[in-house]
Amino acid sequence: MDKKGRGLNMLYPAVLTIVLVGIILGVGIYVLSAVSEGVATETITVENETVTGLAAAGDDLATADDCAARDFAALYVTNATGGETVPTTNYTLTAATGNLVGEATSAYNGKNVNISYTYTGTSDTTTCDSIITTSTGVGGFADWIAVIVVVLAAGLVLGIVVNSFGKANAA
């Protein structure tokens, strides 16, 4: 009985399993991301947060890294020392990321400012942080898929080589 194709036939289930795990991880990460945004639906107001040195390079607001924080909108910005209102032509607040950027030619560039703003987020940080931690863990496992694929491929090739040498000696 000739079993020449036996080693390559073993590849099909391994490749299928790896593809299936990849698809499941991808869908899992997407679902966790959607759930974290679904949890963060409150409109939160922050009053007089101090930004040290308004810069053209931009500064993230303190809540910019909060779970699923988005839709940032400035209510007003004031000079931290003088108290006067900073004109809206002197800064830009990026709605998606919460990054406050000062105009390069602004008289307020490099000065401390206080900003009051609203954003969409959640006050239930425990639930949201748990979702993000899980998503990060699943994403970390996804990084190992390439290593697992290489080890499986090397094992299959080594098995085929050892199997073919064993047959040559037996004949």
Task: Report which DSSP code applies to 85.
Answer: B
The predicted model scores a pTM of 0.60
Q: What percent of the chain has pLDDT over 90?
A: 33
Question: Whole-angstrom Cα distance, residue 143 to residue 10?
Answer: 24
Position 45 confidence tier, pLDDT thresholds 50, 70, 90: very high
- Are 13 and 102 in contact by the 8 Å Cβ rule? The answer is no
**Tens digit of each residue's pLDDT (9 = 90 or more) over 147-167:** 877 887 788 778 777 777 766
**Tens digit of each residue's pLDDT (9 = 90 or more) over 97-136:** 999 999 988 889 899 999 999 999 887 777 777 877 887 7
Res 1 pLDDT > 50: no
> Per mean pLDDT, which range of 36-40, 86-90, 146-150, 165-169 is the poorest?
165-169
The residue-averaged pLDDT of 40-67 equals 90
Res 34 pLDDT > 90: no
Beta strands in 10-130 (DSSP E): 42-51, 59-60, 70-79, 91-94, 99-102, 113-121
